[in-house]
Structure 1
């Protein structure tokens, strides 16, 4: 397999923005990420454009934003903080990443399906579909590591990781299809696809049906809703849980930064009455030359070395290895704009995260409420 690894921001800008149409996901990517179906992460061209436009319009809906804000706040106050208080009072050691994964999975299921799996409770139960989601993601990772002939043989013989993938895939699909059928039945009985009051749920399955009907006047299949759900689960769980885990670990090891954060939160609360994506792979369609001078032939895999980029002096300066949150803040106290092809946590170009402010908002709300 031919592939190129780059950490040059100019190359990334070229691939993700300037010559975007020449770098598709390709059939190999879609085969490896087979469980994602025809969702936005696996699609290209017109199919991708349609799904992106559809999901973006839903995320930007004012009623969805209100629903999401209330959802996260409720989960933090009723689930996350009680669990952390419980383990703290009893001096129980817990895996913080597991806590945040449970928190994020509950949130994304509520947001997309309108159903709370209650993964995050004091008992920290083992939830079958949440475990299946983990196994499915891990099995897809192994498809990247193992030679193609090996994992395809395992799939044919139904052994090893491929057997685990098949089992996990089935469990997750049963859960998702059950939630979708239940939600569609509720909507059918109520006769009002879109909630009429702000207190009613405005999950994405509910809104998606209405939106598709308005845009095309066609009936959407459960398979379409299933693929959309799985892709949004991938987008909304690990991104949040990993970011939160790293945030609290880094802050815990830098007390001076923690003091500054707490001080800012207290000031903000007083002023407002107490309110308050491992690897990126693209496949080339036609021959191309990167800004760095490297010639790229068709079907070449492009890998972005995000770890290296985050530690390069040529990108971030001589203090690139220091933990300095203030590097992101201007002298006026505003967030500094950094080109997305240098800091691609939310990807860049046409495939930029549909609503990074959505994920940032969930992060910020949880951090502030926990610090409170």
Structure 2
């Protein structure tokens, strides 16, 4: 009889250990395996990662520590506890920054506002806050959005209606919002949204960047660093996409610097001066004081925020409205009553009128609750700290609070938390109910609260009102609706619809 070899013995031992751990943890939602840690369970559920994390957080009462493979130093504390979020974002704000892990994962953002900490972050925020407050800049953004709706969005939808063709609303919104944010930040319109849907390399590159960045969160650092060094897989895609985006940004910055003296303050009354957020920054801070690298980092941060968050919210909003006819009827009734008529069948989308669309505002907020454009936020403590939940967090531990899970927490929103019900936002007097930002955290909370919150609501309302007033949206049957695995909560397969012109 042959002797049992060392290899067979080792294999049998490993199988015994795995079976033992499986029996010990078979009723638990995630297993901490020998050597591999909790990574197998996470990878097996990566395609439904946001719902999987929601289930885990519910099982663990809003908090749990994820442990990766041995020796990988991969530990992530997940939370959906609003008291922890308030502690992290406000009470102990100075102790919680982005951290080294975040800066490595999001290195493409450079030293922009979303990646910076401490004094650099304060500087970035102060100059952007000053610009965002300017009435002239707010009017410019409103005018830019309105022009794109009239000249591109409505003609595009009208063509699709006349031709009887299906439209992927998600792609249309991504193209529209990319045009808007490029026009706003750079003074350059790439005209992504047109009838023929041209392929625009820089717009497509943003999606590639998001996908690669997301996978860095759940891949051991040594693994994605190796792939980066070898230029393989998503790391290769990330580098190529960054080069495309950088080429576009530096080209526009060079063009901007060249005409800066002519475009602000030196135009004749007959011609409209060039205007963009970067132009305003250069003018505010002083010509020559902001180098091209700073302008590039500022631009890519704002482009990522202005394109993806708005387009994601719009996509989920129209899916929810299309599946809730009573909500659509109430929005249309409000538009009919509150917005003045324009020539033809149009409605005045002025900011003063949009502010009266309470029910539309509530429906957008309800969309953001259930489908926050950024489903996970990343923090890291400088010093070890005790959270309100009683968890002791060591310094430099990655913390991810799940906005997606918080929107589905019964403890925050009640037993009907999974229902799309805009009425939960409206008071008995007909106004919008204020929900603390550490509970409704789509726009972040504390000192890092989103500077563009008001602008975002305005843009979403303008686009939503224009489409709903002019067209009836019908979902194409048989399509699977689910979140895409990315840093922004896009739909995995887009949103296919057909259009019918309204005669109101």
1:173-184 equivalences in 2 (<5 Å): 173-184=246-257
1:109-188 equivalences in 2 (<5 Å): 109-188=182-261
Distance, in Å, in 2 between the alignment partners of 1:141 and 1:98 is: 20
The residue number in structure 2 matching 1:205 is 278
The residue number in structure 1 matching 2:161 is 88
- Of 441, 452, 458 in structure 2, the residue corresponding to residue 344 of structure 1 is 441
Q: Is the aligned partner of 1:227 residue 2:302?
A: no
The CA deviation at 1:218 is 5.5
Higher helix fraction: Structure 1 or Structure 2? 1
- Of 291, 311, 318 in structure 1, the residue corresponding to residue 408 of structure 2 is 311
Q: Is the 8 A contact 1:194 1:206 kept in 2?
A: no
The residue number in structure 2 matching 1:38 is 111
1:41-56 equivalences in 2 (<5 Å): 41-56=114-129
Q: Is the 8 A contact 2:425 2:433 kept in 1?
A: yes
The residue number in structure 2 matching 1:13 is 86
Q: Is the 8 A contact 1:193 1:210 kept in 2?
A: no
Q: Is the 8 A contact 1:284 1:299 kept in 2?
A: yes
- Of 258, 261, 283 in structure 1, the residue corresponding to residue 328 of structure 2 is 258
Distance, in Å, in 1 between the alignment partners of 2:454 and 2:188 is: 23
The CA deviation at 1:305 is 2.1
Secondary structure of the 1:122 match is: coil
Distance, in Å, in 2 between the alignment partners of 1:198 and 1:328 is: 45
The residue number in structure 2 matching 1:27 is 100
Question: Can you give the 5+ residue segments of structure 2 that lack an aligned partner in the other structure?
Answer: 1-73, 350-373, 470-504
- Greater Rg by CA: 2
1:52-63 equivalences in 2 (<5 Å): 52-63=125-136
Q: Deviations over 1:164-192 (max 9, x none)?
A: 11111111111111111111211134563
Secondary structure of the 1:39 match is: coil
Distance, in Å, in 1 between the alignment partners of 2:326 and 2:264 is: 55
In the superposition, the TM-score normalised over structure 2's length comes to 0.70
Q: Is the aligned partner of 1:282 residue 2:282?
A: no
The CA deviation at 1:134 is 1.5
Q: Is the aligned partner of 1:362 residue 2:432?
A: no
Distance, in Å, in 2 between the alignment partners of 1:77 and 1:165 is: 35
The CA deviation at 1:312 is 1.6
Q: Is the aligned partner of 1:79 residue 2:79?
A: no
Higher RCO, 1 or 2 (CA under 8 Å, sep at least 6)?
1
Distance, in Å, in 1 between the alignment partners of 2:267 and 2:284 is: 9
The CA deviation at 1:355 is 2.5
Equivalences, count: 369
Question: Can you give the 5+ residue segments of structure 1 that lack an aligned partner in the other structure?
Answer: none
The CA deviation at 1:319 is 2.1
The CA deviation at 1:255 is 0.3
Distance, in Å, in 2 between the alignment partners of 1:39 and 1:67 is: 23
Distance, in Å, in 1 between the alignment partners of 2:236 and 2:301 is: 22
The CA deviation at 1:270 is 4.0
In the superposition, the TM-score normalised over structure 1's length comes to 0.95
Q: Is the 8 A contact 1:194 1:210 kept in 2?
A: no
The CA deviation at 1:370 is 1.7
The CA deviation at 1:196 is 8.5
Distance, in Å, in 1 between the alignment partners of 2:296 and 2:436 is: 34
- Structure 1 residues 193, 151: closer, same or farther in 2, change over 3 A? farther
Secondary structure of the 2:376 match is: coil
Secondary structure of the 1:304 match is: strand
